[in-house]
Amino acid sequence: MTPAGTSARLKNFPRWGFVSGRLGVLEERFAGREFFMSLIMQENMGDIVPHLQETFLREYLAPGTVWEDFSALADRCFHETALSLRAECPESAAVDIFLIPFDYLNLKNALLREAVFPFPQGLFQEEPLQAVARGEYGDLPETLRNGEGWSVTDMSQVDPVDLDIILDGAYLRHLLMLAGESGSELIASYVYERVQAYIVTIFWRAVVQDLPLRRFQSHLLPMGDFAGLINDLSGQAGPEAWPAMVGGAVGDALAEALEMEPGDRIAGFSLRAANRLMGVAREGRLQTAGPERVFSFLAGLSTEIVNLKLVVAGRLSRIDRSLLKQRLREGYV
């Protein structure tokens, strides 16, 4: 599944006209790479604030904003923008794909019997999450209950590593389900590569942490078309043979990352995969009205928020400016 030539096949849908028209105004706020380069070079944190007023965050930057809260503030900006667009979309799958990462983080808290949900809520609302925190699992999504690693026992007692893998599997199944609901070839192509890259990252981190790969295999399944990839990766001790197994653009990104210094490889792969995905999503800008246009915008906004958090957190932590520049993701413009 590749996006090659997708733009030529994008159809326009009049019922998406209102929300797509709104995007024409919002898109003017996107910052280019030069903006982020300039932001990185500011000498003092106070000098960054006026520049942030030019971004999507301008309504969220109150006087006396605490920098330590910046990540949560940026996430709130993204989430509220996405929910606002969702309310205007004829169908929600194109937006839901960007909301569910927050939901699964909250779901993890609920499964651990923690009734505090620090991330914005989208598809999973407060009442069902509170029920899960009480050990009532009836309203859990099918994407979780269908997993081979799922058990009706108290999930708060499950090994933390196993719980993370089980939730990863459910999250990826949910992504694939939403891609199917979108009815869009472009969105399906994006999600396919996103899931592929996510699976590679899971197994690569397991190798670095010296965790048994078969443990991941048993908890990630079922995964539809990706079952073969999961089985293949779980049988390899290291990533050197993985590019050929993965194939396509994600396999190429993996091969490039393997040429880097060992300590930089996973981050290098993640950056290359993210840039590749932005390139896929960017095709949707060519649609006048339709789900791909909304999806493309939110992919761009998500990347912009990641870059803003990277710069602010990096400057607070006094990370070398040249390293911050290297870690910037390719954006919408």
Question: Is residue 1 in some structural domain?
Answer: no
Length of the chain measured in residues: 333
Would 96 be classed as within a structural domain? yes
Q: What is the pLDDT of residues 269-303, one digit of tens each?
A: 999 999 999 999 999 999 999 999 999 999 999 99
Grade residue 114 by pLDDT with cuts at 50, 70 and 90. very high
| C-alpha of 98 from chain center | 7
Domain hosting 37: range is: 6-327
pLDDT for 2 equals 44
Q: Which pLDDT belongs to residue 274?
A: 97
Reply yes or no on whether the pLDDT at 63 is more than 50.
yes
Q: Residues 174-226: pLDDT tens digits?
A: 999 999 999 999 999 999 999 999 999 999 999 999 999 998 988 999 999 99
The pLDDT-based confidence of 3 (bands split at 50, 70, 90) is very low
User: In this model, does residue 44 exceed pLDDT 90?
Assistant: no
> Widest CA span of the chain, in angstroms?
54
pLDDT > 90? residue 330 = yes
- Position 1 pLDDT exceeds 60: no
Q: Domain for residue 332, yes or no?
A: no
- State the total domains in the chain: 1
Per-residue pLDDT, 49: 85
On the question of a cis peptide bond just before residue 160, with omega within 30 degrees of 0, the verdict is no
Specify if 333 maps to a domain. Answer: no
CA–CA gap between residue 272 and residue 257 (Å, rounded): 8
Query: Is position 262 within any domain?
Result: yes
Q: Residue 322 carries which side chain, given as an amino acid letter?
A: S
CB atoms closer than 10 angstroms to residue 116: 9
Residue 238: count of CB within 10 angstroms of its CB? 9
- Using a cut of 0.85, tell me whether the model's pTM lies above it: yes
The percent of residues above 70 in pLDDT, for the chain, comes to 96
Q: If we measure between CA atoms, which residue out of 216, 332, 204, 205 comes closest to residue 274?
A: 332
Q: What is the DSSP letter of 15?
A: G
Helices 291-316 & 185-208, crossing angle to 10 degrees? 30
Contact between 184 and 13 (Cβ < 8 Å): no
In a domain, residue 57? The reply is yes
| Nearest partner of 294 among 162, 137, 111, 98, judged by Cα | 98
pLDDT score, position 12: 87
| Structural domain contains residue 137 | yes
What is the Rg, in whole angstroms, of the alpha carbon atoms belonging to the chain? 20
Q: What is the pLDDT of residues 82-109, one digit of tens each?
A: 999 999 999 999 999 999 999 999 999 9
The confidence score (pLDDT) of residue 65 equals 67
CA pair distance 282, 62, nearest whole angstrom: 32
Which residues are CB-contacts of 290 (< 8 A; sequence separation ≥ 6)?
Answer: 10, 11, 12, 13, 16, 20, 184
The rounded distance, in Å, linking the Cα atoms of 271 and 276 is 9
Is 23 within 8 Å of 293 (Cβ atoms)?
yes
Name the one residue in this structure whose structure tokens are 């939901």. 103
